[in-house]
Amino acid sequence: MGPINARSRKILVKIHLYVGLVLGVVLAIAGLTGSLIVFWQPIDVALNQELLAPDHSCTESAFRPIGDLVTAVRAKMPLSGQLSSLRVPDHERPLLWA
C-alpha cells in the first residue's frame, strides 16, 4: 500500500470533518443534559424563587406533625391542584417540597 494520493486524502479529511461534527453535537447534547441532571436543584431555585420562598407568617415551632403540614400545603394549593408527594427539608433543599 503506497502513500495516500491527494484525492484520497481529501475524501478522508471530509469524512473526518463530518464524523467529528456529528459526534461533537452528540457529545455537546450529552454534556448539557448531564449538567441539567446534576444541577437541577440550583437551577430550580434560580428559576422558581417565588415558589420556594418560605412562609414567614408562622412564628411557632419549626417542627410540626405531618398532618398539619399536609393541611397547610392543601390550603395554599389551587382548587384544581392535587398533592402527589411531600418531601421533607434536607441540606440541599431546606424547605418543605410538595
pLDDT at 57: 63
Domain chopping of the chain, boundaries: 1-38, 51-98
Judge if pTM exceeds 0.85. Answer: no
Q: Give the C-alpha separation, 78 to 80, whole Å.
A: 5
- 4-26 per-position pLDDT tens digit: 788 999 999 999 999 999 999 99
- Per the CB < 8 A criterion, the answer to whether 52 and 95 are in contact is yes
Three cell numbers written together for 69: 403540614
Looking at residue 55, what is its pLDDT? 62
Residue 31: predicted pLDDT: 96
The pLDDT score that the predictor gives to residue 17 is 97
pLDDT of residue 50: 76
Q: Are 96 and 89 in contact (CB under 8 A)?
A: yes
C-alpha to C-alpha distance for 52 and 73, rounded to whole angstroms: 13
Q: Which residues of the chain have pLDDT under 50?
A: none
